[in-house]
Structure 1
Amino acid sequence: MSSAATTPEAHTGSYYAATANPSPYRPPLMGEVRAEVCIIGAGFSGISAALTLAEGGIAAVVLEGKRVGWGASGRNGGQIVNGYSRDLSTIEGRYGKGPAKALADMSLEGGDIIRDRVARYNIACDLVDGGFFAAFTPRQMRELEHTKRVWESYGHTELEMVDRNRLPGIVETDIYIGGQIDHRGGHIHPLNLVLGQAAAAENLGTIIHEGSAVTRVEDKGHEVLVHTAQGMVRAKTVIVCGNAYLGDAVPDLTNKIMPVSSQVVTTAKLDPALLDRLLPRNQCVEDCNYILDYYRRTADDRLLFGGGVVYGGTDPASIEGKIRPHLERTFPALRGTKLDFAWSGNFALTMTRVPHVGRLSANVLFSHGDSGHGVTTTHLLGRLLGEAVIGRTARFDVFERLPYLPFPGGRALRVPLTVLGSWYYGLRDRLGV
């Protein structure tokens, strides 16, 4: 019997875990229970689905292998980035005008869900409005201008271009030539956000079991049996939201995504006046490189800085060694600054870089592969999963109809071939072409 079945594993040693709001111990599943809906995974997707159902009067049972928000939902950069990991023009060219319009109509909803729930349930998660995309090259500026035109063609008018002269009012660094403000962007403490939503769902009747890793799912047609080391849920419907941390509980899904790790560090507390100078508007920043850096100020006056990827989901030899050069290149004034926290976390990548959503059967639904845009898309897709369970399937169906493409080479070659592709795009970034 694994220890995870009896004692939920502590969160990773991140800044978020160190500053998390109090959260109760949620005992593991013991024995057999019945539920109308069982949700696998207590990250953003699973908790968003649970809260959607709870608001509609359905109390789901949620099974989490570790702790609520233990995976990517509690480790990410905490940035509210709207849209998908592929821009709307690419989506339109790939799937057609109709699906693109449908996805565009939902593209801002994830951020709206976050803000609505923070206000409705009084969630203390350091919500700050405003995000910035930073460009290194004229090509990246042209791409941002193109993105703005495309978004405006779909009715979204919250993007604002910024030239070099205005940059010091956004971020104090010499490495960019301009960028774009997303007034609908923002940043949050992600672990506190998911913990707050979990508490809201529980107050509406949801049952959450931590330390309850799913070992097997049996679809019997009339019901689905979800097994853990010490218990089982008999459910009418199952929603699978394990994403990059699902493991082998549902093999049909594990092989359809690639885990990718990203690394994050957080400085010691800094002089607030220094941060006021470096980030005058307290907006989060994400650069436009293929392998990008992202950073923001925390509520207690630190700089949180992330970036880098390791395909396959492993950790680099030194997280600080990987991230510190990028931090110091961006902000020379922080050279040698002490780093209090360094951690890594996995997100799930799809071949299309668009979330993979669908049904394994009439009774088993899933969503995964947000491909780096998970903070907002998980909230949207969790809502769509909940809607589908209660019979409102139209928006869920838009995503389900998008064709799935497997990684070339299968599981054995998906990492080396993706690394080869990322090397090409990384070279383009370095050459500015």
Structure 2
Amino acid sequence: MNALATQENPGHIASWYAATANDKTVRPSLDEAIEADVCIIGAGFTGISAALELAEKGMSVVVLESERIGFGASGRNGGQIVNGYSRDFDTLERRFGPDTARKLALMSREGGDIIRSRVAKYSIECDLRYGGFFAAFTTRQLRELDTIKKSCESYDIDGLEMVGKADIGRYVSSHRYVGGMIDTRGGHIHPLNLVLGEARAAEAFGVRIFENSRALSIDLSGKLPVVSTAGGRVESRYLLVCGNAYLGKLLPKITERMMPVSSQVMVTEVLDPALLDRMLPANYCVEDANYVLDYYRRTSDNRLLYGGGIGYGGQDPANLTCIIRPNMIKTFPELAKTRIEYAWSGNFALTLTRIPHVGKLSDTVYFSHGDSGHGVTTTHLLGKILGEAVAGQADRFDIWASLPSLPFPGGRAFRVPLTALGAWWYGLRDRLGV
């Protein structure tokens, strides 16, 4: 993994998040045969959210992580609490019908609520801030945001407000935008510290988390699923597969329905707080309305975190900042000479439908993956729902599991070029403003 910083947290990529993590403790690797009510593969947001939900219900839980807690997208993302899904409610209604769309809409803000609730309940220090701004480059994008707002209101979702050109400066000081929309129930966090705090809370309930313990095989031939690692094995009543884009080749039935997609993030040197006050007066996180979008926010130590770019199949550019640094300077010309101190990339899991793929491989094996760019909130929601299902409350799980999921056309050989071609078309529309 390319990065511009010196490694400061063993086992993690060299990111600003890893350097400023509150907890750098390395958990032990699994080196024995153990039993549990539930075994979870993956110590990211989905897996840890499910583990905490189950532990609160009194179940014994073991989590197997191939690297470190939050090693994947959960500890590398932009740290933005963006509510909803990667497809709007009108699209969901056309695909799945009004009844299912309304049920999904009712859950769409729960992920952010779960984050805020756990931060308060377990005193998690993760720099939680409120408010998000969606920035429009064109009047077409502004109309689309207004349509989304009205659609949300038709599903009884509040907290969204349109912003005209005259008021943009209240949220972001840039000449690039013609308006936008704020979400008062959005916000931003230090994602690695969030998942580490949730992991600590789960461990207080007795959850055992093993790092550097990659699941090498899953045996479903017996009465109970058995997961084997290089050093041990876990036999459990239930198995939750939450590896997302970092699952590898373990379960082809899952991985054929998702594609790893990389995004790049960089963090500036420490800036003058007064400059940041001018650039982002409300301390909201910002993302633009382009198909291949940029996102940015202020950090707790007065830097600008700026992300964007996209690499289908998880491929990165040779220079991690070659795309996003010029965009940052277009947005904030005053940062033209600003030094970049950290730069990294990470993969998220994309589905063909852009809706998470949730389901069961057997009566005892559950999975959730493919949050498609909305993972901070959706993983928390779906982790909780996985926990509910295992505990016998499967109504909400069944809604998600009923949604159709499709393999990428062209299989593994052609899914990247075909998806990239579609992205090129939408990116061209963004550049032309049509």
Q: Note the 1:244-263 alignment, pairs <5 A.
A: 244-263=245-264
1:14 & 1:93 partners in 2: Cα distance? 40
CA contact (8 A) 1:23 1:195 kept: no
Q: Which amino acid aligns with 1:289?
A: N
| Amino acid of the structure 2 residue aligned with 1:154 | Y
Q: Distance in 2 between matches of 1:292 and 1:197?
A: 29
Check if 1:223 corresponds to 2:219: no
Contact conserved, 2:43 with 2:63, CA < 8 A, in 1?
Answer: yes
Per-residue displacement from partner, 1:290-343 (whole Å, max 9, x unpaired)? 000000000000000000000000221001212110110110000020001000
Q: Deviations over 1:45-83 (max 9, x none)?
A: 000000000110012100000000000000000000000
1:83-141 Cα distance to aligned partner (Å, 9 max, x none): 00001110111110011011000000000000000000000000000000000011101
Residue pair 1:284, 1:295 contacting (<8 A) in 2 also: yes
Q: How does 1:92-103 map to 2 (within 5 A)?
A: 92-103=93-104
The residue aligned with 1:331 is 332
Pairwise mapping of residues 344-383 of structure 1 onto structure 2 (< 5 A)? 344-383=345-384
More moved, 402-411 vs 178-187: 402-411
The answer on whether the counterparts of 2:65 and 2:212 sit within 8 Å (CA) in structure 1 is yes
CA displacement at 1:148 relative to structure 2 = 0.5
Structure 2 unaligned spans of 5+: 1-8
1:384 lines up with 2:378 in the alignment: no
1:240 Cα offset (Å): 0.3
Structure 2 counterpart of 1:56, which letter?
Answer: K
> Deviation at 1:183?
0.4
CA distance in 2, matches of 1:370, 1:122: 27
Alignment of 1:311-330 (within 5 A): 311-330=312-331
Q: CA deviation digits over 1:328-371, x for unaligned, max 9?
A: 01100000200010000000000000000000111110000000
C-alpha contact (below 8 Å) 2:357/2:368 kept by paired residues? yes
In structure 2, how many angstroms separate the alpha carbons of the residues matched to 1:305 and 1:35? 41
Which stretch shifts more, 259-268 or 322-331? 322-331
Other structure's SS at 1:263 match: strand
User: What is the number of residues matched between the two proteins?
Assistant: 426
State whether residues 221 and 363 of structure 1, in contact with CA within 8 Å, keep that contact through their aligned partners in structure 2. Answer: no
Q: Distance in 2 between matches of 1:234 and 1:167?
A: 55
Deviations 1:175-234 (A, max 9, x none): 000000000000000000000000000000100000000111111252001011111101
Q: What residue number does 1:175 align with?
A: 176
Aligned-partner residue type, residue 256 of structure 1? R
Aligned-partner Cα distance in 1 for 2:286–2:204 = 35
The 3-state SS of whatever aligns with 1:198 is: helix
For 2:23 and 2:48, how far apart are their aligned partners in 1? 17
Q: Any residues of structure 2 matched to 1:134-153 within 5 Å, and which?
A: 134-153=135-154
What aligned pairs does 1:52-131 form with structure 2 within 5 A after superposition?
52-131=53-132
Map of 1:5 onto structure 2: none
2:256 and 2:408 in contact (8 A); partners too: no
Match of 2:6 in 1: none
Consecutive unaligned residues of structure 1, counting only runs of 5 or more, are 1-7
Q: Write the letter of the residue equivalent to 1:419.
A: A
SS at match of 2:408: coil
Q: Percent identity?
A: 62
| Partners of 2:82 and 2:374 within 8 A in 1 | yes
- CA distance in structure 2 between the aligned counterparts of 1:307 and 1:25, rounded to whole angstroms: 30
Amino acid at match of 2:166: N
How far off is 1:23 after superposition?
3.7
Whole-Å Cα distance in 1 between the matches of residues 77 and 373 of structure 2?
9
Assess if the C-alpha contact under 8 Å between 1:144 and 1:179 holds in 2: yes
Give the secondary-structure state (helix, strand or coil) at the position aligned to 1:346.
Answer: strand
**Partner SS state of residue 370, structure 1:** coil
- Structure 2 CA distance for aligned equivalents of residues 278 and 413 of structure 1: 42
| Distance of 2:341 and 2:272 partners within structure 1 | 15
Alpha-carbon distance between aligned partners in 2 of 1:157 and 1:60, rounded to the nearest angstrom: 36
TM-align CA RMSD: 0.9
SS of 1:45's partner is: helix
Normalised by the size of structure 1, how large is the TM-score?
A: 0.97
Matches of 1:146 and 1:59, distance apart in 2: 46
Alpha-carbon shift at residue 9 of structure 1 (Å): 5.7
Equivalent positions of 1:260-339 (< 5 A) are 260-339=261-340
Q: Which amino acid aligns with 1:299?
A: S
1:166 match: 167
User: Counterpart of 1:125 in 2: which secondary structure?
Assistant: coil
Q: TM-score, normalised by structure 2?
A: 0.97
Structure 1 CA distance for aligned equivalents of residues 280 and 58 of structure 2: 43
Name the CA distance, whole Å, in 2 between partners of 1:339 and 1:87. Answer: 35
Write the mapping of 1:223-242 to structure 2, written as runs, cut at 5 A. 223-242=224-243
- Partner letter of residue 225 of structure 2? V
Letter in 1 for 2:269: A
Are the counterparts in 2 of residues 241 and 366 from structure 1 also a CA contact under 8 Å? yes
SS at match of 1:62: strand
Q: Which residue of 2 aligns with 1:393?
A: 394
Q: Name the amino acid aligned to 2:79.
A: G
In the alignment, structure 1 residue 402 sits paired with structure 2 residue 403: yes
CA distance in 2, matches of 1:348, 1:22: 26
Give the counterpart letter for 2:420 in structure 1. V
